[in-house]
Amino acid sequence: MATANRTESTDDLKADGSTPGDVVELNPYQRDIYAMSKVIVESARTTQTTNIFCAALAKRVFSISNTLRTYFDTRGGVSINGANFVNDSSIIECLSELEAAMRSACALVEHFCKPEKWTGKALRALKAQSYQREFVNCEAWLAELETRLARIILLKFLLEKEQIDQASHEEI
């Protein structure tokens, strides 16, 4: 059984989403997604007016980040668990869409997390109610893409396992 490393906290992520133990360069989509997930999670921690909405997005992007980190683990210079599928068109397409969704979520969260005077915070709290649908839609879009990514990863694992099983049966 292959091992996977999960990031339990975004505190140990570098700006590009890598961790101190990573030595293999990340795919550009991964790097951007990790960086945006860190911004969203940190912004959600600092905001108070839209905490419920930002927290839902932060949980979703943190989950996506963990899924990617588990699948594309590159610790110690050894690619583990599917890193050889990084050029697969279905994964690249999903990562591209995921990057776009993360950019949208990042922009939405940052819009409500700007430091300003108390009057600005009060106005932002009122605006947050009108942006509730956008937060919900953005979180739903991310959830859909996370599910799609998980299905692609599962399919890749099953195909890889089948190939390994066939190769081991041929050796016998």
How confident is the model at residue 167, as a pLDDT?
87
Question: What are the residue ranges spanned by the domains of the chain?
Answer: 23-171
Kindly tell me the sign of the dihedral angle through the C-alpha atoms of 11, 100, 94, 79.
negative
Q: How many CB atoms lie within 10 A of CB 39?
A: 20
Question: Do residues 112 and 124 touch, judged by C-beta distance below 8 A?
Answer: yes
How confident is the model at residue 142, as a pLDDT?
94
Kindly tell me the sign of the dihedral angle through the C-alpha atoms of 90, 62, 102, 22.
negative
Q: Round to whole Å and give the CA distance between 74 and 90.
A: 20
How confident is the model at residue 18, as a pLDDT?
47
Q: Round to whole Å and give the CA distance between 34 and 142.
A: 14
pLDDT averaged per 10 residues, the chain (length 172): 40 47 60 82 67 80 84 54 64 90 86 62 64 87 94 87 87 74
Q: How many CB atoms lie within 10 A of CB 23?
A: 11
Terminal Cα distance for the chain, rounded = 21
Question: Do residues 16 and 38 touch, judged by C-beta distance below 8 A?
Answer: no
